DNA sequence: TCGACTTTGTGCGTGCGTTCACAAGGGCTT
DNA sequence: AAGCCCTTGTGAACGCACGCACAAAGTCGA
């Protein structure tokens, strides 16, 4: 389930506060979901709660981490070290969750060779060798839109089966490969949509289009 | 619908290629969705297709833009100009879609006063004035986790009703406010989950936990 | 030891989104 | 002008996820 990471983060916060036990009601509130939904989610992992008491925080952290595969380390490659790639490279939330930044690749000669977060940026020509040598299992694509599909194809050819794509394109991959997409522009557009509805829905109709195309 | 921006982007690509007309089948393939779903989505906007022919690309671009509220300009404030905030400030996909970067705010004295993308970073103490003066309707939060909720509260108090949150916390807001969350760490965790399932599911059970806690 | 209280785990009804399949409708050819 | 063919728009079935509400179960106090 896609909600497990949210629960996990809430549990980490509770653990840091020294809280030992938590009820489904409390945890659900912290995670921003319905308590019945949370209990059903957790029950799919097994019966880890104690009736009348709740869930033991540390134990639940471990169980969810194991379910998510965070008890083992995953080697991640960042491809494209522009503004966004650098932000990702410096993002602390990765290393603390079992993700190891293992390689950085870029096509720009001005960027290749630079050291970011203790890693040297390699040229993308070495992609195949770097991915194989570093045992990369997850690739993060922060490249320009036109480069995304070609780079994706090369990465997949190396055996990578998980891709996090920040480029605003729909990637085509074999069935065995998982792709998750983060599109910053789309998020803003969805907000604009709701914002507009609050303001009273789309203004103008056919007339407006004709004016926009032909002039008034 | 959350898919409209995807359709819109696909249509822009088609328009750039000089394509005048597109069938639901083709557009659906370009957007990576089922053709029936696409037709149903579009029919909710009105009957903009021609049976036997398809949809006129330019006309559809306009209709979707209008539905999404992209025919008017939205003023966006970026709060937090760390690595991620800078990446967002420099992201070209915003300006080209009717979003205007109107203000930048940060708490770090080393960052305040800096010019990024033609805008001067203001101190967060001026948040209320800047948001009011610039007519901000959408706020982008790229601040550290502990700062997110307080900043969010201040922004909401200024009348902003759309927030794009990059901080890894669950924001509490009044009902009238829309919040969209982008959590980079969660995306990676979901990929790790699927990656692990491909590799044969979670390894080890109870024994592993006891070892992790108590030592072997 | 027993009873009352608390909290988990889950069966069931509901509502939404997806998809198939087809009828309605417009263009193109003859 | 008429018929064929293509594509849209949509009715209906399916499946899934959500949430209510309750029984099972375990704890705590007397």
pLDDT value of residue A201: 62
pLDDT value of residue A159: 95
Residue where a domain stops, chosen among B18, B53, B68: B68
Report how many domains make up chain B: 3
Closest residue, CA to C1' of C5: A52
Alpha-carbon distance of B134 to B111, in angstroms, equals 20
Q: How far is the CA of A153 from the C1' of C20 (A)?
A: 33
B34: CB within 7 A of chain C nucleic strand: yes
Is residue A177 located within the same domain as residue A194? no
pLDDT value of residue A49: 87
Is residue A86 located within the same domain as residue A145? yes
Contact B68 A189 (CB under 8 A): yes
Among chain B residues, the shortest Cα distance to A171 is held by: B32
Residue where a domain stops, chosen among B39, B68, B97: B68
Alpha-carbon distance of B154 to B128, in angstroms, equals 7
Nucleotides of D under 7 A from a protein CB: 5-11, 18-21, 24-28
Contact B86 A87 (CB under 8 A): yes
Q: Could you tell me the residue range of the domain that residue B212 belongs to? A: 184-216
pLDDT value of residue B203: 53
Instruction: Encode pLDDT of B66-121 as tens digits.
Output: 999 999 999 999 999 998 999 999 887 777 778 999 999 999 999 999 999 999 99
Which residues are registered as beta bridge partners of B77?
B103, B139
Which of A74-78, A153-157, B33-37, B88-92 is least confident? B88-92
Contact B170 A202 (CB under 8 A): no
Alpha-carbon separation of residue A156 from A177, A180, B131, B178 (angstroms): 8, 14, 45, 37
pLDDT value of residue A42: 96
**Is the model's pLDDT at A172 over the cut of 50?**
yes
> What does the mean pLDDT of chain A come to?
90
- pLDDT (mean) for A72-77: 94
- pLDDT (mean) for A132-149: 96
Nearest nucleotide relative to B21: CA against C1': D7
CA R_g for chain B? 22
Q: Using a pLDDT cut of 90, give the percent of chain A over it.
A: 81
Among chain A residues, the shortest Cα distance to B77 is held by: A188
Q: Using a pLDDT cut of 70, give the percent of chain A over it.
A: 93
Select the residue of B94, B164, B195 nearest A74 (Cβ to Cβ). Answer: B195
Compare A18 and A92 and report the one with higher pLDDT: A18
Is residue B85 located within the same domain as residue B154? yes
Q: How confident is the model at residue A188 (pLDDT cuts 50, 70, 90)?
A: very high
Taking each helix axis from N to C terminus, what angle separates A127-134 and A145-157, rounded to the nearest 10 degrees?
50
pLDDT value of residue B184: 87
8 Å CB contact between B45 and B1: no
Is residue A78 located within the same domain as residue A178? yes
**Is the model's pLDDT at A46 over the cut of 90?**
no
Instruction: Encode pLDDT of A84-97 as tens digits.
Output: 999 999 887 777 77
A96: CB within 7 A of chain C nucleic strand: no
Is residue A49 located within the same domain as residue A145? no
Q: A172 — phi, psi (to 5°)?
A: -105, 125
- Which of B99, B96, B97 lies closest to B77 in space, CA to CA? B99
Alpha-carbon separation of residue A15 from A31, A43, A60 (angstroms): 14, 21, 11
Is residue A56 located within the same domain as residue A102? no
Select the residue of A138, A168, A204 nearest B188 (Cβ to Cβ). Answer: A138
Low-confidence ranges of chain B (pLDDT < 70): 201-216
**Is the model's pLDDT at A209 over the cut of 60?**
no
Is residue A44 located within the same domain as residue A110? no
pLDDT value of residue B206: 41
CATH number of domain containing B143:
3.40.50.720
CATH number of domain containing A15:
1.10.10.10
Is residue B161 located within the same domain as residue B188? no
Long-range contacts of A20-23 (CB under 8 A, 24+ apart): A20/A56, A20/A57, A20/A58, A21/A53, A21/A54, A21/A55, A21/A56, A21/A57, A22/A54, A22/A55, A22/A57, A22/A60, A23/A53, A23/A54, A23/A55
3-state secondary structure of A200: coil
Is residue B175 located within the same domain as residue B193? no
Is residue B9 located within the same domain as residue B59? yes
pLDDT value of residue A203: 52
Alpha-carbon separation of residue A17 from A14, A56, A58, A118, B149 (angstroms): 5, 14, 12, 32, 18
Token reading at A62: 């471990």
pLDDT value of residue A142: 96
Select the residue of A97, A185, A193 nearest B69 (Cβ to Cβ). Answer: A193
Is residue B51 located within the same domain as residue B87? no
Is residue A81 located within the same domain as residue A41? no
């Amino acid at each position: 389930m896609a909600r497990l990471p949210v629960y996990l983060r809430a549990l980490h916060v509770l653990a840091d506060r020294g809280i030992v036990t938590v009820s489904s009601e409390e945890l659900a509130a912290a995670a921003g979901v319905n308590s019945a939904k949370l209990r059903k989610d957790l029950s799919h992992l097994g019966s880890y709660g104690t009736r009348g008491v709740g869930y033991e925080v540390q134990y639940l952290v471990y169980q969810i981490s194991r379910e998510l595969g965070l008890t083992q380390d995953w080697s991640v490659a960042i491809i494209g070290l522009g503004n966004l790639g650098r932000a990702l490279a410096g993002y602390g939330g990765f290393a603390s969750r079992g993700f190891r930044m293992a390689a950085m690749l870029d096509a720009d000669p001005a960027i290749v060779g630079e050291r970011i977060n203790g890693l040297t940026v390699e040229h993308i020509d070495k992609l195949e060798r770097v991915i194989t040598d570093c045992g990369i299992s997850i690739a993060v694509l922060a490249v320009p839109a036109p480069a995304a599909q070609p780079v994706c194809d090369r990465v997949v050819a190396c055996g990578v089966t998980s891709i996090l794509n920040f480029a605003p394109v729909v990637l085509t991959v074999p069935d065995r490969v998982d792709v998750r997409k983060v599109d910053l522009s789309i998020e803003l557009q969805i907000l604009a949509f709701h914002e507009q509805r609050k303001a009273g829905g789309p203004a103008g109709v056919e007339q407006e289009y004709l004016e926009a195309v032909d002039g008034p």
